[in-house]
Structures are given as C-alpha cells and as structure tokens.
C-alpha cells in the first residue's frame, strides 16, 4: 500500500511522471541511558529498517553516534533469537566469558556492520556495535553498558507505616530494547497494516459516496469502488466488492525518497 500524495506535488499540481512518497524518520521513545558513561541507546525507523544506535554525550545536550546498525525485519528476527540465547547463557553459565558474544551482521559490503550482546564477570549487560573488513579485522566498535541499580519498584512490608524496600530491575532497559526489536520483527510483516486498511475501506467508501455530489457539480469523474469485472463463477464471492478498484485512490507505484 502506498501512502501519501498520489500524482500531485505539495501545491496540488499534477505530477504523474514523477510520483514520489516522502518518508519520515520516526524516533522511538524507547531508549536506554547510562549517566556514568554518558552513553545512550537510541532507536529510529526509516526506509523499512530499524536503526539501533549507540550515542555518546559530548557537549551539553549534544550526542554523537559511535555505532549504528540498520536492521531489517529478517535480521530483527535473528537478533531476537540471539538475545534469547544470550539471556540463557548469562543465567546458566557458571563463569561468564567476557570474550563471548551473541548477535548478527547487517549487510555485507567492504565493511560489515555487526551488533551483539555480551557480559563480564560482574554480569553487566553490554551491547556492542561495530564494523569489520573483508578479512575479518575489526575496524571500529562501540560498547554500551546497561545501567545497574537504577530502575526500581518498591515492595511494602507495612503499607500503613510506609515501610518499604527498593527492588532493582537491572534487566528492564535491556528488556525494553529487546521488546522493540521483537515488535519490529513482528509488525513489519504487513499484516497489521493490511488489517487497518481492510477495516478502513468501508469508511473510505462512505466518504466517496458523500463526495460524489461534489464531483458531479464540478464535472469531475467519480471514483469507482464497485467490482466491474465480477465473473459468474459459483466460486466467486458475489457479495464482496472489488477491493482493488475501491482503493485505487489510496495506492500506486511510488519512488521512495
């Protein structure tokens, strides 16, 4: 499904020879920040990819990206599997090997990007993003250590006298990042987008019906959403409308910029 301006530019003029769909970058509210290292994990979405970045605070409120991985839906599914293996490892290993890591590669060019997770003797959760060359030599790598003893809930032993204790969740922000990866892997299959479109088509049809008198008054050709090519086969769903013709005004071939 194509979304946006179909065959017109921002001024409403016809531009059928150059149909383009402007694509925004969406910045996720899900993030992790470590005040001690002045680093953060930020997530954004653009061009069908999930962009996971390790940024570092360098001046006041200004962050510079130290490493970024562009993750496709397929790679996101792989990363979820590796994160689950990583969790099993740190929960069951008698001794943590700080050199051991779990992750994926994203794109294989002259420089290959990788993203993964590892731990250390203190069982810190560490995400790393980097690049290696065709010979497997690591050219750059950024590390982010998730904060410990920061996010907490409270348990009361006596509510009336407000006797309580903090319960720290040192896996919370890691779990939030993992959930974002899982959501991207799941919802980028297009099923949710189609379900919304399928539900909205009836509202669109009602809107067109209300617009038809205006089209007639202005001598503009009506937009058709009925099935003009329905065959007489007994296997046809004769009670359905032609969805493709109904949604012509909402679809088309576009170049993404």
In a domain, 21, yes or no: no
Please tell me whether residues 242 and 121 are part of one structural domain: no
Structure tokens at 237: 């769903």
* Among 247, 187, 208, 225, residue whose Cα is nearest residue 1: 247
Provide the residue range defining the domain that includes 210. Answer: 200-256
Identify the band that residue 252 occupies on the pLDDT scale cut at 50, 70 and 90. Answer: very low
Calpha distance 106→65 (Å, rounded): 17
DSSP 75: H
Structure tokens at 77: 């599914």
Specify the 3-state DSSP secondary structure of 230: coil
As for how many domains the chain has, the answer is 2
User: Where does a domain end: 187, 221, 245?
Assistant: 187
pLDDT tens column, 36-78: 999 999 999 999 999 999 999 998 889 999 999 999 999 999 9
**HSE-up (13 A, CA, CB side) for residue 252:** 18
Q: Give the H or E element holding residue 194.
A: helix 191-217
The pLDDT of 23-47, averaged and rounded, is 95
The pLDDT of 205-222, averaged and rounded, is 82
pTM for the structure as a whole: 0.74
Please tell me whether residues 174 and 47 are part of one structural domain: yes
Confidence (pLDDT) at 60? 82
The pLDDT of 87-96, averaged and rounded, is 96
Highest mean pLDDT of the ranges 19-33, 150-164, 228-242: 150-164
Answer whether residue 228 shows pLDDT above 70. Answer: no
Specify the 3-state DSSP secondary structure of 220: coil
Please tell me whether residues 176 and 205 are part of one structural domain: no
For 53, 91, 101, 148, 178, the CA distances from 87, given in Å and listed in that order, are 21, 6, 11, 16, 11
> Is the Cα torsion angle 119, 120, 123, 124 positive or negative in sign?
negative
Specify the 3-state DSSP secondary structure of 208: helix
């Amino acid at each position: 499904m194509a979304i946006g301006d179909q065959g017109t530019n921002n001024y409403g003029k016809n531009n059928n020879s150059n149909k383009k769909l402007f694509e925004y970058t969406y910045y996720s509210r899900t993030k992790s920040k470590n005040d001690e290292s002045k680093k953060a994990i930020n997530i954004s979405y653009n061009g069908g990819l999930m962009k996971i970045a390790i940024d570092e605070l360098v001046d006041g409120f200004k962050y510079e990206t130290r490493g970024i991985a562009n993750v496709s839906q397929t790679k996101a599914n792989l990363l979820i599997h590796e994160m689950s293996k990583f969790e099993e490892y740190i929960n069951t290993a008698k001794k943590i090997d700080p050199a051991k890591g779990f992750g994926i590669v994203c794109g294989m060019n002259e420089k290959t990007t990788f993203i993964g997770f590892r731990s250390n003797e203190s069982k810190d959760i560490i995400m790393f993003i980097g690049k290696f060359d065709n010979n497997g030599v690591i050219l750059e790598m950024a590390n982010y250590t998730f904060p410990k003893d920061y996010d907490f809930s409270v348990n009361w032993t006596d509510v009336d006298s407000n006797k309580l204790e903090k319960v720290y969740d040192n896996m919370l922000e890691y779990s939030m990042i993992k959930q974002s990866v899982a959501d991207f892997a799941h919802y980028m299959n297009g099923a949710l987008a189609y379900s919304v479109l399928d539900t909205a088509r009836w509202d669109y049809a009602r809107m067109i019906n209300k617009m038809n008198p205006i089209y007639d008054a202005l001598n503009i050709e009506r937009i058709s959403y009925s099935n003009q090519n329905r065959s007489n086969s007994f296997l046809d769903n004769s009670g359905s409308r032609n969805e493709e013709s109904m949604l012509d005004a909402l679809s088309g071939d576009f170049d993404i910029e």
